[in-house]
Amino acid sequence: MSFLGGGALLKSQWRNLAWDEKSRFELIETIREYKPLAQVGVQQARLLLLGHVNVGKSSFFNTINSIFRNHVTAQAPVGSPRDQRSITTKMRAYQVRNGREGKDLNFKIVDTMGIEEERRRGFDPTELPYLLDGHVSDNHQFDPSGNISPEMPGFQKLPKLPEKIHCCIFVIDATSVSSLSDELLNKLNDMRTKITGRGIPIIVLMTKIDKACDQTRGDVSLVYKSATIQHLIAQTSSKIGVPVSHVLPVKNYTHEIELDPWVDVLALSALQQMLRFTDNYFDECLVT
């Protein structure tokens, strides 16, 4: 469903992003070379994806993975628009490699069960602190009724910084920004409080921009000239309670069978910002 159809195109970009092969190459190289600060003792940054069912959390990992594999991949299972329940039922820490047999890159994208409006449905926000603090092992099976406790097998009682979450990403569907329910917003606000209370940075990833704006459907590189996307980002910022600069639009690979350089540039620029925020978190860890 389209949000505002075509919308107006502004004369110049309201965010600076270069759309050329040189920029794409430089973003790839920057992310390939990324390393957490040696002083913090963390080998890989852990980026946690949170969001409603079918907003594109798993698809974002697939998009990033596709870029570094140099072809479209589908490692993480994804749902269809008809799905009302989360396809992801386990906590999965996905590793991105530099090519099929290349070295592991120094970050993991941690996927979670989708959030739902109803109580005892989807991911339970009351369990989020266990994830943030590193108590829960990868491949944990979620239970909407809540099943995390210090007595469960694999519970990490004294997790260290490498096991914790270093940046959180709320994933929001651009086509549903104006219709986010109070129940969902309350859950997101509750999670935001838990996250910021730990000093963990938050980024909001706004997906499906090609469905929200006809201009970006035809050419993703027009995203920062689109008045529709600019409006949606401002609306998302207000509803979620984060600065406008923390809301990043992306278009995931969903129906394509070949890479699109401008899809890559947008996704890579978002990932670069996540890693920059992660470094800010590590800087604070050295101070406290």
**What tens digit of pLDDT does each residue of 134-185 get?**
999 888 888 766 678 888 888 899 999 999 999 999 999 999 999 999 999 9
pLDDT above 90: percentage of residues in the chain: 74
Contacts of 126 (CB under 8 A, 6+ apart): 146
Q: What is the CATH number of the domain that holds 184?
A: 3.40.50.300
For position 230, what pLDDT does the model report? Answer: 97
Neighbours of 157 (CB within 10 A): 6
Q: What is the residue type of 209?
A: I
| 3-class SS string, the chain | CCCCCCCCECCCCCCCCCCCHHHHHHHHHHHHCCCCCHHHCCCCEEEEEEEECCCCHHHHHHHHHHHHHCCCCCCCCCCCCCCCCCCCCECEEEEEECCCCCCEEEEEEEECCCECCCCCCECCHHHHHHHHCCCCCCCCECCCCCCCCCCCCCCCCCCCHHHCCCEEEEEEEHHHHHHCCHHHHHHHHHHHHHHHCCCCCEEEEEECHHHHCHHHHHCHHHHHHEHHHHHHHHHHHHHHCCCHHHEEECCCCCCCCCCCHHHHHHHHHHHHHHHHHHHHHHHHHHHC
Question: pLDDT digits over 244-284, tens only?
Answer: 999 999 999 998 999 999 999 999 999 999 999 999 999 99
Is 15 domain-assigned? no
75 pLDDT above the threshold of 70 = yes
Contact present, 253 and 70 (Cβ < 8 Å): no
Averaged pLDDT of the chain: 91
184/166 Cα distance (integer angstroms): 23
Structural domain contains residue 2:
no
In angstroms and rounded to an integer, the radius of gyration of the C-alpha atoms of the chain is 18
Is residue 3 pLDDT above 50, yes or no? no
**Does residue 266 lie within any of the structural domains?**
yes
Query: Domain for residue 36, yes or no?
Result: yes
Tokens at 174, concatenated:
């651009």
CA distance 185 to 182: 5
Dist. CA 187–CA 124, nearest whole Å: 9
Percent of the chain having pLDDT more than 70? 91
Residue 281 lies in a domain: yes
Task: Express each pLDDT in 103-137 by its tens digit.
Answer: 999 999 999 988 887 766 678 888 999 999 999 98
Q: Which domain holds residue 109?
A: 21-287
In a domain, 5, yes or no: no
What mean pLDDT is predicted for residues 226-248? 97
The answer to the question of residue 33 being in a domain is yes
Residue whose C-alpha is closest to residue 203's, from 14, 45, 95 = 45
* Domain total of the chain: 1
Q: Does residue 8 fall inside a structural domain?
A: no
Give the CA count within 13 Å in the CB-facing half-sphere of 104. Answer: 10
User: What is the pLDDT, as a whole number, of residue 89?
Assistant: 79
pLDDT of the residue at 33: 97
Mean pLDDT check: name the lowest of 1-5, 28-32, 209-213: 1-5
Please, is 99 exposed, middle or buried when counting C-beta atoms within 10 Å of its C-beta (0-12, 13-18, 19+)? exposed
Stronger pLDDT, 86 or 143, i.e. the higher one: 143
